[in-house]
């Protein structure tokens, strides 16, 4: 009935319509694959599946503007991602949970720092491997941490350092070292 | 005084009746969808009519959107030395907003009008009444396959719009302007999330597909069975679907992307 209404359909025929629709759907799947793999985080090497990662924790006095899904880097190479950030209610420290790629093992005296990519870039966690013979296992906590640098604190330190050194020029070296 | 009050009351009642009528139509259509899914041939015909035939305009619009966005964004970004983020901005704008919304508007104009005119002319020619006389529910036989076809086609078209737009941005950014192609892709790969950005964009496109097809079918089904009636219904389809798409987009964006 529909074919009689639409002269085009009698020309093309049922099978060809199904082929064309199949091509249309396939095109959509290809577009989605292109977007997901080439233009989003699914295909990048840094994205971790659930099975091939282990957890590490680190306590920071100040996490700055670190966000979940921020990269964890060692020597600039992405080795994992920040999974969650919560506040420890007893110590009032930020607890950062990280998913680390299973292929990378870190010594137990590894240090974690919160760093900034470029001057205005996003913050990430940097891991500096130590020299311990034993490796961190899944769920372990990194003992040595260095908090994010907060620009306001830095400026106020700088200003108070300048004021001190102006008041007593002889102690400029000790003020700068503070 | 009484006349004005009466007019107000009549308008309110008419509005309520219209909304109730549309709501009943909506639920009738939802109930008819399973029957349409049992006849995939009919659905395939409609995907072909609604989806395949919209491909050219969608791809052309997506390419144009990507090219123009990239050129304009470069002009704004180069002042801050952030031209490497060009691809990221174009990608996010397309995948989150422009892809679903522009596809919805084009879909209402390209496919919605043809659905309304088709159903409206069937009604004007009393074909729908004839089907009812033969104990065939026109909602199941004629309308539901069109609804399913529209809902299937819309996300595919929106994805293609965004994908072609990103390719357009690549052409401008890498080939014309000379931004490093590695950084162009890397910025996207680190910042665009598959589920949060692309997935939510797909949800949006599906919602817009439901809106556009439902409005088009309702306008066609309820139009006055005259040439002017069909003409008015076709116009209303474009206006109402576009307004609904824009309104729904604001609500969905507020729900999906308001938190960082």
Q: Which two tokens stand for residue B51?
A: 């989806």
Q: Looking at the structure, do residues A20 and A61 belong to the same domain, yes or no?
A: no
Q: Which two tokens stand for residue A58?
A: 């680190």
CB contact under 8 A, B41 and A14: yes
Q: Which two tokens stand for residue B6?
A: 């009466």
Q: How many CB pairs under 8 A join A and B?
A: 90
- Of the partner residues B160, B185, B189, the one whose CB lies closest to the CB of residue A31: B160
Q: Looking at the structure, do residues A23 and A95 belong to the same domain, yes or no?
A: no
Q: Name chain A contacts of B49, Cβ cutoff 8 Å.
A: 6
Q: Looking at the structure, do residues A33 and A96 belong to the same domain, yes or no?
A: no
Coil vs helix vs strand at A114: strand
CB contact under 8 A, A69 and B193: yes
Q: Does pLDDT of A178 surpass 50?
A: no
Distant-in-sequence, close-in-space partners of B167: CB < 8 Å, separation ≥ 6? B63, B66
Does residue A45 form part of some domain? no
Q: Looking at the structure, do residues A62 and A114 belong to the same domain, yes or no?
A: yes
CA-to-CA distance for A43 and B224, rounded, in angstroms?
Answer: 53
Q: Looking at the structure, do residues A34 and A60 belong to the same domain, yes or no?
A: no
CA-to-CA distance for B73 and B81, rounded, in angstroms?
Answer: 12
Chain B residues interacting with chain A (CB cutoff of 8 angstroms): 41-42, 44-45, 47-49, 51-52, 55, 87, 91, 95, 152-153, 155-157, 159-160, 162-164, 166, 185-186, 188-194, 197-198, 260
Calculate Rg over the CA atoms of chain B: 22
Residue A20 sits in which domain range?
2-38
Does residue A169 form part of some domain? no
A38-76 pLDDT per residue, tens: 877 765 544 454 567 888 899 998 888 887 778 888 888
Q: Which two tokens stand for residue B138?
A: 């026109």
CA-to-CA distance for B110 and B113, rounded, in angstroms?
Answer: 6
Q: Looking at the structure, do residues A103 and A134 belong to the same domain, yes or no?
A: yes
Scan for tokens 């319509």, then name that residue: A17
- Supply the pLDDT for residue A3: 47
Helix residue spans in A39-171 (DSSP H): 151-167
Residue of A nearest to B85 (CA): A121
CA angle, A96 as apex, A92 and A99 as ends, to 5°? Answer: 165
CB contact under 8 A, B159 and A32: yes
- Structural contact between residues B246 and B98, judged by C-beta atoms closer than 8 angstroms: no
Does residue A159 form part of some domain? no
Q: Looking at the structure, do residues A105 and A135 belong to the same domain, yes or no?
A: yes
Q: Looking at the structure, do residues A57 and A34 belong to the same domain, yes or no?
A: no
Backbone φ and ψ for B54, nearest 5 degrees, come out as -90, -5
- Supply the pLDDT for residue A174: 47
Q: Looking at the structure, do residues A66 and A33 belong to the same domain, yes or no?
A: no
Does residue A104 form part of some domain? yes
Tell me the β-bridge partners of A165. none
Chain A residues interacting with chain B (CB cutoff of 8 angstroms): 2, 6, 9, 14, 17-18, 20-21, 23-25, 27-28, 31-32, 34-36, 38-44, 46, 67, 69, 71
Residue of A nearest to B50 (CA): A21
Residue of B nearest to A41 (CA): B189
Distance from the Cα of A94 to chain B's closest Cα (Å) equals: 19
Q: Looking at the structure, do residues A18 and A101 belong to the same domain, yes or no?
A: no
Please report which helix (H) or strand (E) contains residue A111, including its range: strand A111-116
The better pLDDT of the pair A178, B63 is held by B63
Q: Does pLDDT of A170 surpass 80?
A: no
- Supply the pLDDT for residue A68: 77
Residue of B nearest to A81 (CA): B190
Structural domain count of chain A: 2
Q: Does pLDDT of A11 surpass 60?
A: no
pTM over 0.80: no
- Please report the ipTM that was assigned to this predicted complex: 0.82
Q: A168 pLDDT band (50/70/90 cuts)? A: low
pLDDT tens, N- to C-terminus, chain B (260 residues): 888 999 999 999 999 999 999 999 999 999 999 988 998 888 999 999 999 999 999 999 999 999 999 999 999 888 887 887 888 899 999 999 999 999 999 999 999 999 999 999 999 999 999 999 999 999 998 999 999 999 999 999 999 999 999 999 999 998 998 888 877 887 888 788 888 889 999 999 999 999 999 999 999 999 999 999 999 999 999 999 999 999 999 999 999 887 76
Q: Looking at the structure, do residues A34 and A62 belong to the same domain, yes or no?
A: no
Q: Within 10 Å of residue A10's Cβ, how many Cβ atoms?
A: 11
Q: Looking at the structure, do residues A24 and A70 belong to the same domain, yes or no?
A: no
């Amino acid at each position: 009935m529909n074919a009689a209404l639409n002269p085009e359909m009698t020309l093309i025929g049922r099978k060809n319509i199904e082929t064309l629709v199949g091509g249309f759907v396939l095109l959509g799947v290809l577009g989605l694959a292109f977007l997901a793999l080439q233009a989003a985080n699914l295909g990048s090497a840094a994205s971790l599946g659930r099975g091939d990662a282990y957890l590490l924790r680190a306590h920071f006095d100040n996490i700055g503007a670190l966000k979940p899904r921020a990269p964890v880097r060692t020597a600039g190479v992405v080795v994992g991602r920040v999974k969650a950030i919560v506040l420890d209610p007893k110590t009032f420290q930020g607890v950062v949970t990280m998913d680390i790629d299973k292929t990378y093992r870190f010594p137990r005296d590894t240090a974690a720092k919160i760093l900034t990519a470029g001057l205005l870039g996003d913050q990430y966690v940097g891991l500096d491997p130590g020299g311990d013979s034993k490796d961190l296992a899944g769920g372990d906590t990194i003992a040595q941490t260095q908090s994010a640098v907060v620009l306001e604190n830095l400026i106020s330190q700088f200003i108070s350092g300048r004021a001190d050194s102006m008041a007593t020029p002889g102690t400029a070296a000790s003020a700068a070292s503070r | 005084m009484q006349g004005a009050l009466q007019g107000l009351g009549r308008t309110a009642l008419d509005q309520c009746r219209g909304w109730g009528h549309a709501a009943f139509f909506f639920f009738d259509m939802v109930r008819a969808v399973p029957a349409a899914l049992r006849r995939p041939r009919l659905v395939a015909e409609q995907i072909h009519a609604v989806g395949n035939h919209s491909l050219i305009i969608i791809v052309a619009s997506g390419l144009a959107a990507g090219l123009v966005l990239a050129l304009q964004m470069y002009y704004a970004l180069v002042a801050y030395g952030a031209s490497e983020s060009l691809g990221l901005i174009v990608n996010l704008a397309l995948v989150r907003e422009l892809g679903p919304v522009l596809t919805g508007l084009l879909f209402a104009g390209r496919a919605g009008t043809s659905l309304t005119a088709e159903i409206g002319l069937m009604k004007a020619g009393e074909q729908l009444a004839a089907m009812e006389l033969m104990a065939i529910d026109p909602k199941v036989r004629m309308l539901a396959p069109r609804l399913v076809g529209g809902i299937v086609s819309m996300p595919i078209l929106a994805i293609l719009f965004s994908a072609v737009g990103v390719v357009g941005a690549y052409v401008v950014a890498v080939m014309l302007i000379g931004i490093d192609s590695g950084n162009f892709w890397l910025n996207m790969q680190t910042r665009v999330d598959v589920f949060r950005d692309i997935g939510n964009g797909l949800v949006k496109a599906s919602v817009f597909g439901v809106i556009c097809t439902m409005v088009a079918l309702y306008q066609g089904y309820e139009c006055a069975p005259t040439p002017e009636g069909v003409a008015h219904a076709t116009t209303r389809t474009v206006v109402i679907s576009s307004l609904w798409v824009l309104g729904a987009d604001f609500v969905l964006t507020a729900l999906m992307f308001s938190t960082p």
